[in-house]
């Protein structure tokens, strides 16, 4: 059994990690870390775990946890993991960090967009960006994985094959994305109150959202050129889900069959990516509660653009599910173990 510690186990992503890992045949959670609920029963925080999890919440002592766990998931705010990371910890355990601390390779870019000093930049080069469908072989050898964000996972995977094959003009890429409110975390914030969110949709972080450089960097690796995008996220009144609609100019005339063949080249064998039938648009309700990514596209010959669409559950493929997928790769397990989650409906 893989002994697992979770720091931030009472946040939404941490709670989803617990839900998924309780159904993982090779996993045993030994540490439910939560600074806010120390000594409180975990099932008292999440009543859905009543008579399933009997443990109490512990603190966020990473040094002590490293001695007990084979892998630690840090589902924590930006800055925490970087502030406690050390060679001693990494020599004893593997880390899957769900924050952005090691996702961006340029320290100055991270500090500019996140507004905090990076406390352990010496580990950035080593960290593997945990987008399993792209970096699978590197993840298998990693001891530190930077788990991608929810907006970024959906946005990158939706455009990746066309960026990789040079079909789209990367200077024209626009990403318009919508997220459910769980993406903002479990902390109490006025903009996320029911009366603020219900019967409403709003853009936020316009031209300034901190996932922007992450999307640009990864699609830059794919296309082999510098990528600068317009990324506009929106908050919608639903619990879960990300829907990304992306627009780019085509470099040449292409048919539906040619573009479909490109997506199939990269994704046909991927367990968790579903390229939909022609004319079927991705919807968040058809991936809810699952680790799937639903993707499709539409060519618009009138404007010489292509519209790419992707949908994920932000807490599963966008956070906890992807983290478990990374763990499976790191420990040589079947990649889908614990993640055979059929989407919930209704």
What pLDDT score does 189 carry? 86
Q: Is 150 tagged catalytic?
A: yes
What pLDDT score does 6 carry? 98
Of residues 57, 81, 132, 150, which has the active-site annotation? 150
What pLDDT score does 41 carry? 98
What band does 344 get if pLDDT is binned at 50, 70 and 90? very high
Q: Is residue 145's pLDDT more than 90?
A: yes
What pLDDT score does 191 carry? 86
DSSP annotation string for 208-272 = T-TTHHHHHHHHHHHHTS----EEEEEE-SSSS-EEEEEEEEBSS---HHHHHHHHHHHHTT-TT
Q: Is residue 282's pLDDT more than 90?
A: yes
The model's pTM:
0.97
Give per-residue pLDDT as tens, 310-330.
999 999 999 999 999 999 999
Q: Are strands 2-7 and 27-33 parallel, antiparallel or unpaired?
A: parallel
Q: Is residue 184's pLDDT more than 90?
A: no
Domains along the chain with CATH numbers: 2-126 (3.40.50.720), 151-313 (3.30.360.10)
What pLDDT score does 312 carry? 98
What pLDDT score does 161 carry? 98
Give per-residue pLDDT as tens, 101-118.
999 999 999 999 999 999
Percent of the chain clearing pLDDT 70 (strictly above) = 100
Give per-residue pLDDT as tens, 217-258.
999 999 999 999 999 999 999 999 999 999 999 999 999 999
Q: Is residue 272's pLDDT more than 90?
A: yes
Classify the C-alpha dihedral 35-36-38-42 as positive or negative. Answer: negative
What pLDDT score does 84 carry? 97
Round the average pLDDT of the chain to a whole number and report it: 97
8: left (phi over 0), alpha (psi -120 to 50) or beta: left
Give per-residue pLDDT as tens, 10-38.
999 999 999 999 999 999 999 999 999 99
What band does 188 get if pLDDT is binned at 50, 70 and 90? confident
* Dist CA 131 CA 56 (whole Å): 32
């Amino acid at each position: 059994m893989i002994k697992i510690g979770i720091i931030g186990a009472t946040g939404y992503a941490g709670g989803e990690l617990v839900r998924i890992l309780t159904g993982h045949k090779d996993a045993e959670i030994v540490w439910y870390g939560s600074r806010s609920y120390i000594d409180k029963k975990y099932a008292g925080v999440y009543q859905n775990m009543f008579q399933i999890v009997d443990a109490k919440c512990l603190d966020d002592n990473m040094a002590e946890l490293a001695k007990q766990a084979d892998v630690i998931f840090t589902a924590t705010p930006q800055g925490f993991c970087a502030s406690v990371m050390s060679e001693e910890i990494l020599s004893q355990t593997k880390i899957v960090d769900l924050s952005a601390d090691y996702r961006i390779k340029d320290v100055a870019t991270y500090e500019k967009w996140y507004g905090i000093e990076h406390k352990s930049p010496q580990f950035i080069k080593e960290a593997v960006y945990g987008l399993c469908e792209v970096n699978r072989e590197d993840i298998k050898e990693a001891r530190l994985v930077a788990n991608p964000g929810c907006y970024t996972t959906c946005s990158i995977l939706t455009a990746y094959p066309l960026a990789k094959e040079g079909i789209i003009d990367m200077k024209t890429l626009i990403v318009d994305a919508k997220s459910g409110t769980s993406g903002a975390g479990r902390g109490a914030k006025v903009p996320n109150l029911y009366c603020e969110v219900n019967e409403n949709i709003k853009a936020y972080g316009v031209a300034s959202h901190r996932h922007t450089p992450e999307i640009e960097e990864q699609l830059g690796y794919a296309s082999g050129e510098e990528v600068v995008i317009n990324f506009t996220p929106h908050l919608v009144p639903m619990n879960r889900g990300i829907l990304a609609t992306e627009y780019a100019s085509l470099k040449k005339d292409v048919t539906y069959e040619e573009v479909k063949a490109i997506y199939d080249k990269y994704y046909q064998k991927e367990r968790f990516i579903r390229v939909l039938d022609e004319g079927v648009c991705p919807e968040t309700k058809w991936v809810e509660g699952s680790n799937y990514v639903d993707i499709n596209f539409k060519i618009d010959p009138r404007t010489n653009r292509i519209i790419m669409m992707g949908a994920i559950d932000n807490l599963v493929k966008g956070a906890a599910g992807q983290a478990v997928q990374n763990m499976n790769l790191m420990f040589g397990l079947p990649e889908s173990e614990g993640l055979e989650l059929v989407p919930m409906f209704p």
